[in-house]
Amino acid sequence: MRTSCPGFRLLLLMALCTLFAATAVLAQAPQPTAAPQTVPTVSEFLATLSDNPGDVPGTGNLLPPSPKNLSTICHSNSDCGPHELCCYPCGIPDCNFVCMRVKRCPLIP
């Protein structure tokens, strides 16, 4: 069945797009308004900091000491631990050699 009006398809398409847009607008849930948070003053913030910078609040003595050295930078394989190799980690200049737990160092161009 053909319609005689040439703009009927265009009119139908515009009506469908309008219907989809209207349902999308009506389907959005209202956003809850968040209560404004007060910003602490400098003295209040400083009072929350601990005297010892190594302390983590709320952990007590639950954290075990870290068994890994703080620095993994090496100059030879003897600087690394067991089953680790001193490898070049990246392909950009000025990267430091680091200890990696690999069987052979990666081939970096």
Mean pLDDT over residues 26-37, rounded?
A: 72
Could you tell me the two tokens for 69?
A: 């050295």
- Across the chain, mean pLDDT equals 76
Segment 41-88, tens digit of pLDDT: 888 888 877 666 555 555 555 555 555 555 678 889 888 888 889 988
Q: Provide the token pair at 35.
A: 């209560």
Q: Rounded mean pLDDT of 25-50?
A: 77
Who has greater pLDDT, 100 or 37?
A: 100
Distance between CA atoms of residues 74 and 58, nearest Å: 35
Residue 91 to residue 107: CA distance in whole angstroms: 9
What is the helix (H) or strand (E) element at residue 46, kind and residue range?
helix 42-48
